[in-house]
Structure 1
Amino acid sequence: MKEHFQLKETIVTIVTDRESHIKRAKESIHHNRAVLERFIALDPFFRSTLEPYATVENVPEVVKRMILAGNSMGIGPMSAVAGTIAAMAVESMVAAGATFAIVDNGGDIALINDRPVTIGVYAGTSPVKDLAFQMPVHDNITGICTSSGTVGPSISFGMADAAIIFSDDVSLADAAATALGNATQVGKEAVEKAFDAVKHVTGIKGAVVIQGEYIGMWGAIPEMVEAHIDYDCITKG
């Protein structure tokens, strides 16, 4: 079962086996967005800062995860918002009994899969097309998060068409994808150098950068396969 769901700026695709699990994901998104909005209302700096956020005591779980992820990468907590919302939605689905659950929050994906699944890559106008990752079975929640300087509305200071991070910490994957995208400039050497932004961070399994005609890889990544990428399947507003 697959459902497209939007709540304000949060636009997700939810994939699972049962309607009840989709319902749990939506409830999680509603709850955690409301918690986050209340926190931002009390401290608007949390939303605007591009630097690490100091306070981690006595904050809600969704906020804490975002802070820790952003701080790990030396950037602001909002860099991890999509991945954190997605991860907590999948956690809620798992608590309801799901063994196959995917939440794609605008290219920041949290999943647990009791069967292999193919995750396509969209890199905008890059000539690198029809590329996908064959994800093996996972009995734990894992993350695949993507940032881009050429696709979508998110802030990026780099030129990556797609900066992709693999990590079992989905919040970290989201923040790290932002940092990797920020570090990516134009050309083959710049793509290879960009990985310096993430190589030192514990918890990151692997990374991929697509910039123009260049593609770079670092660490452990799933098998890459050719696949027709259907634009209509991309989670977007």
Structure 2
Amino acid sequence: MSRLELLTPEGLRIDGRRANELRRITAKTSVFSQADGSAYIEQGNTKCLAAVYGPREARYRQQLQSDRALLNVEFNVAPFSTSERKKRSKNDKRSLEMATFIRQTFEPVILTKQLPKSQIDIYLQIFQHDGGVLQCCINAATMALIDAGIPMIDYVCACSAGCIDKVPVLDLNNLEESSDTPELTVAILPRTGKVNLVEMESRLHIEKLESVTELASQGCMQVHKVLDSVIRENTEYLRDRLNT
């Protein structure tokens, strides 16, 4: 499928969205009772479960850091999440790369110095892959960390944007990603607007970089509204339970 077919003359995309529209986001927290914090999110047809354990004693003494907590991230894609039925181990190169991106995104945000000599584990599982996996994982991890009561300076909200036939588009799906569409993933801290992650896997013309980055940042703010609403609803629910 060519890029021209990804965007109609009326400005509509394959899934019916306009260029600046997010996919539908459904999210909830406290979905996994055995974890200290957990969250489930659907962004379009991409589905991710995040579980957080900790702060707890470091698994290996040689990893222990006396002045801060150790952050560990494990990322996995279920074999049935894509049409390829490809099984990936947690030591798969792409999985390790994704885990590193996520760990580096959260290390400056989590107040690790308040939790010395401890370890925080974030486990991420993709159940369905329809594009935007990195952003979906970051958003799910944010909610799970908040659910676990881990101290952070702000939310971390992520969104992608790309360029189809010279038109900036928001929140690419798998079909758009697999059609050689330039894609940029941005994660920001909503209160300050500080950019915490910029990741791009394909080349984008310099003239389009500013507009695509700005669109992705606007998408992050829209994501923040959704995540904040979910967190507030869950907090009110827990408060009401304690008062009854």
TM-score (norm. length: structure 1): 0.28
- Structure ranking higher on relative contact order (CA contacts 8 Å, 6+ apart): 2
TM-score (norm. length: structure 2): 0.28
